[in-house]
Structures are given as C-alpha cells and as structure tokens.
Structure 1
Amino acid sequence: MPRQHANRFTLDFYGLQPRLVWANERTLTQEFLDMETTAAEDETVAWFIEEGEVTVTYPRGGVVNARAGEWLLLRAANGSQHFTAGTRLMSLRFHLRLRGGKPLFARRRDVVVKTGDSTKLQQAAHKLVKEFDRVSAPGTVFVVRSRLSMVDNFRIEAAFMHWLGCYVETMQAEGEKPEAASRRDARVTKALIWIEDHPMRTKFSEAKLAKRCGLGINQLGRLFRADQGISPFQYYEYRRVELAQQTLKDSTLPIKEVSFELGFSSPPHFANWFTKRVGVSPRAWRTKIKPAQETSPLKVPSRRR
C-alpha cells in the first residue's frame, strides 16, 4: 500500500515547547539489554537500531519489535524492553509540547519506520548526535547548556530543530495527527511562554509576570486558572519539580549543584521543598529511579562557585 502524503499543518511555532534531553549512539552493554521500563510516558523516545533487535512488551497488552535499519518511535506508555546482545543504536529523548504541557503528538501507538523510509530521520539524528558528542554535552541538556558557549548552543539547537522537522514529517507520513492547540487568551499564552522560558536560577515573581502581560495580579490569576486550573505560581512550581526530577534522573550532578541550578539558596532548602512536593528526599528519589533508566547517567562537570 502506498504511503500517505503528510498533510501540511500550520501552528504558531512559538506555541511549541521543544526540549532535548539527550542524543547518543552506543553499543549496549549487558546490564542495559533487559530493563523493566522504557520511561517513555513523559518523554518522547526514539531509537534507531543499527545492529541487533529490540522487543518492547507492555503490561496492558501489546508487543512491538524493531530490527536493524529501523526506527522505533515509542508510544506514551511504559513497557519492558529487551535488546539482543551486541545491539547498537542511536537513542534520542526529547519533549515536544504545546504551551501548557500538552504533547504535540498523543503517541497512542508505537511507530516503526521501515528500512528505506528512514533515511532523512537517520541523517538528522546522526548530525544531532555528532553535535552533542563534539561538545561532550553530558547529562541533562537543560542544565548543562548553560555552561556551553553561545555558538555551541546554537549549533546543538539547529541540529535539534532539523531533527524535529524530520520527526514531525515522519509522524504525519505514518498517519499521526498533531494535537490542536487550545484557543486561549493571548495574555495567558504570553504568561505560559514567560514561565516556561524563565531561568530557574532567577527568582520568580507573579507581580513581574502580571506586569509583562499588561494585567493586575488578580486578573492574571483568574484568566490563568480558567485556562490551566492552577495559578501561575503553581504552574511554575510544577515545571520546577519536573526539571528537578529530570536532572536527578539523567545526570550525576551533585544534589548541592542541582539545588543551585534550580535557584535554591542552600541544599537543605531544596531538599525540604522537594520532599514536600514529591514525598521523598532528592537523594531517595534518585536512588529509587536509577535502576529504571535506559542508560547510565552521564557525568556532569561541577560548576566552580
């Protein structure tokens, strides 16, 4: 059956929130061949199998398999993964969301892109991995990129945008439709952009946010709650928790450094804040989540203070 031509769609580019988690190429060692979870529920996971084979089994039913020369774009669900010995792959993890946190693609099913149909995707991924390796950007990109030069950041971002263009084109060609953006007050959109782009090391102020949106604090709060169901500060806190968990999971950055990256004045302050919102301490959460990772955390150089 001939492949359907991808329908073009238009969307405000600044209404998207793309973020790269990692991009690497490696031969899997024994300890990573069989893992209990793909951790694909919150992050978009894309694997290109260069050598070997992978099978993912889902607890609620369903099995998917990909062989050498094929891409596996995982559904938004956690499954157990089994790679054959000697498997070599490119692995990409990223977020592609609409402002407000809604994924651009619902990812209700796995997508296997067959050999011959994945050339553009493969080339774009190789370019991204090459840029990533060139600067030895380790760990959680959102944190580490603050330590890279402006030129290096632009080069990584350019390669990531190229990859996303190929990814979106591939998903559409496979029959996946982008989710429609919610129609919302332009001032709420402006608030979402400001919150999501706000540097975590800088103190957050609802008063400054309201002023930027041309509103009073109470008026902004009413509009924001009507759209998101929570206040602007609660949304900021949600993003902060998400980044804290991602940093603890995907890097070996010391907890002291994590606390400073997220704008806390001291590690105890960060630990109390994290425990109150997550239910366990940062150290306990990191210890619990590490065994479920697809790959070992990459080392992050400490920042001189």
Structure 2
Amino acid sequence: MERDRLTSSHCIWTQLDVLLVRYYVDVPSRVGRKGTFNARYLSAWYMKRGSVTVRKDGHALRARAGQWLIMVPGQRYQEFTSHAELISINLSVSCGAAILSWMGNWACVLKEDSRLLAQAEALASALPPVSPGEDHGLSIPGVKMPLRQAADCQARVLDFFNSLLFVASEWGVGVDIQFGEDERVQRSLAYMASRPMGNKFSREEVAEDCGLSASRLDRHWRREMGITIRQYWDNRRMNYACQCLREKTKSIKEVSADLGFSHATQFSIWFSSHQGVSPRAYRRSIV
C-alpha cells in the first residue's frame, strides 16, 4: 500500500525529537496573510472560519472552514480570505544525525477529522495561558512550565504528531529517514556532531579521523546519505541559522557569531546564497 511506504521509515526511537514550535489561534497575522514564505516546520492548519489558498510548483490547494491543511516544510505562497480564522500548529521533527526528508505530496487538505481537532484542543489545554500580543500566538521555545505539565504537554504533542502522520499518509504526504549504516559514515557523523558550528570546517580533518581520504569519504557519503560531508555540514549550520531566525531569540549578529562569521555581512552573503533571501528578509517572511 502507498500509505505503508510513506510511513515505513525507521528511526532510532530514543533520537526521535518532535517539538512544538508554535501554537496559534486567531486571525492570520498581518505579515502572514498573503505572500510567499519559507516554512521550516511541519504545519497543520485548521480553518475555523473563511479559507486559505496555498500554491507551490504550479499546484494549488484550498482549505475551507472545518478543514485541515497539512504542509511539509518549504517555500510556498499563501493567501487567506479577509474573514479567516485558524488554529496553526508548527512542529519541528528530527531524528538525531539521520537525514529526514519529506516525500510524496507537499500538502493535503482533510475534509473533516474530529479526532485530530480533539487532540489539538487537548494540546492547547496543556499549554500555559497566552498573554495578549500582536499575533495572539504562543512561541513555545523558551517557555517554562512545571515538569509534570511539560511532560503532559509533550505526550499530547506526540499523540497529535502520530495522528498527523497517519492521516497525512492517506493523502500522499510521507517522510523518509536516511541513516549511514557504513561504520565510517557513522564515525564521521559523530565527529561532526561533536564540533561547534562556529569552527572552521575541514573535510580532510573529518576524513583523517575516519582513516580515509576526503574523496573516498565523500564517495561513502554519496552512496549512504545521498550528499557529501560538506553539504551535511552546511545543512546543519543552515538549520541552526533558520531556527534562530524563526524563534527570534538572538539577533542576526549573534547568529552570525555563533556560526563563526567575522562579520554579519559575510553571514548574510552565505545565507542568501542558500536561501535566496537575506537573513532579515527570511525572518520577516516566517509564519
């Protein structure tokens, strides 16, 4: 079955990390109402009123009141109707050093799903009250709560994510997880994971730790992971940069310093070459 293929990826369960990044209930924010945005997280929108249209690669989907819209990370165009109101849930999903990528369709619309809505409401009840603000949303990273409440919240996040995976797979949205089974690939993954992201990267240094030449290690990486060690290192740094820009806990200058850039201008050039927009523009575009 197609659904089995989309949900059959294996992961080391102790390394599975599903984080609630944002829970938002209200009308769309002024910035997020219309335009092209770079979404870094798995998004689940429940339309309480009105509708939203999203477009990507020439394909368009529309979710109306009472429907869910599930979208994988990536760039998309979105446009809400003037009277729209929604529940928006953003999840960060990772699995240790494994490479996680979304497969199949980039989005799907669910006609009705009372169970998913009930789980979303149960999750909301476990979260701390939201202080009135510009967008009436709750950015989760950094929020402090009692340990038992945090454990209850995380359990409800996992329940919601599990249901989300199941229903999304029925509509062609799935996930693929790639591990490096080669011992030398695993060793190089562990070596790079132990290195601060601000350190200067040397593929020769990584290869030497594995007892291989840089070119030979790259060949192992291409066969096992589909990318080179340089691409993995850049992806790791880019994920960190995007996370910091999304969470707005650090200034652009601080993110630049964390990644080892001498000047914020150098960071901006590097970031733009990968994302197509400047760090400042990316931060403004995130919803």
Give the structure 2 partner of residue 85 of structure 1.
82
RMSD: 4.4
Q: Alpha-carbon deviations, 1:90-129, whole Å to 9, x = none?
A: 21223435644331x31424211111xx223223333344
1:160 and 1:186 map into 2 onto residues whose CA distance is 34
| Structure 1 position 187, deviation (Å) | 5.3
Give the structure 1 partner of residue 122 of structure 2.
127
Helix, strand or coil at the partner of 1:11: coil
Q: Alpha-carbon deviations, 1:57-115, whole Å to 9, x = none?
A: 34x42221111221101255533222123322121223435644331x31424211111
Give the structure 2 partner of residue 34 of structure 1.
33
Contact 1:128 1:156 in 2 (8 A): yes
Give the structure 2 partner of residue 51 of structure 1.
49
Give the structure 2 partner of residue 25 of structure 1.
24
Superposition TM-score, scaled by structure 2 size: 0.69
Contact 1:76 1:108 in 2 (8 A): no
Contact 2:122 2:156 in 1 (8 A): yes
Structure 1, unmatched stretches of 5+, are: 295-305
Contact 2:49 2:84 in 1 (8 A): yes
- Structure 2 counterpart of 1:120, one-letter code: R
Q: Which has the higher strand share?
A: 2
- Structure 2 counterpart of 1:102, one-letter code: L
| Structure 1 position 56, deviation (Å) | 1.7
Give the structure 2 partner of residue 102 of structure 1.
100
- Structure 2 counterpart of 1:69, one-letter code: G
* CA separation of 1:127 and 1:89: change in aligned 2, threshold 3 A: same
2:231 and 2:58 map into 1 onto residues whose CA distance is 36
* Count of matched residue positions in the alignment of Structure 1 and Structure 2: 270
2:282 equivalent to 1:289: yes
2:175 and 2:159 map into 1 onto residues whose CA distance is 18
* CA separation of 1:193 and 1:245: change in aligned 2, threshold 3 A: same
2:91 and 2:29 map into 1 onto residues whose CA distance is 25
| Structure 1 position 234, deviation (Å) | 6.3
1:172 and 1:184 map into 2 onto residues whose CA distance is 26
Give the structure 2 partner of residue 65 of structure 1.
62
* CA separation of 1:155 and 1:270: change in aligned 2, threshold 3 A: farther
Helix, strand or coil at the partner of 1:239: helix
2:235 and 2:75 map into 1 onto residues whose CA distance is 22
Contact 1:54 1:81 in 2 (8 A): yes
Helix, strand or coil at the partner of 1:122: helix
* CA separation of 1:172 and 1:251: change in aligned 2, threshold 3 A: same
2:164 and 2:228 map into 1 onto residues whose CA distance is 32
After superposition, where does 1:252-267 map in structure 2 within 5 Å? 253-255=250-252, 258=255, 262=258
Contact 1:76 1:106 in 2 (8 A): no
1:10 and 1:291 map into 2 onto residues whose CA distance is 34
Helix, strand or coil at the partner of 2:48: strand
| Structure 1 position 239, deviation (Å) | 1.2
Q: Alpha-carbon deviations, 1:137-169, whole Å to 9, x = none?
A: 96473xx37x77766654443333222211111
Give the structure 1 partner of residue 264 of structure 2.
271
After superposition, where does 1:202-241 map in structure 2 within 5 Å? 216-219=209-212, 222-223=216-217, 226-228=220-222, 229-231=227-229, 235-241=232-238
Q: Alpha-carbon deviations, 1:236-271, whole Å to 9, x = none?
A: 4531232123312342533465467x476xxx7463
Superposition TM-score, scaled by structure 1 size: 0.66
2:213 and 2:114 map into 1 onto residues whose CA distance is 47
Helix, strand or coil at the partner of 2:38: coil
| Structure 1 position 35, deviation (Å) | 1.8
* CA separation of 1:25 and 1:180: change in aligned 2, threshold 3 A: closer
Structure 2, unmatched stretches of 5+, are: 132-136
1:70 and 1:18 map into 2 onto residues whose CA distance is 27
Contact 1:200 1:240 in 2 (8 A): no
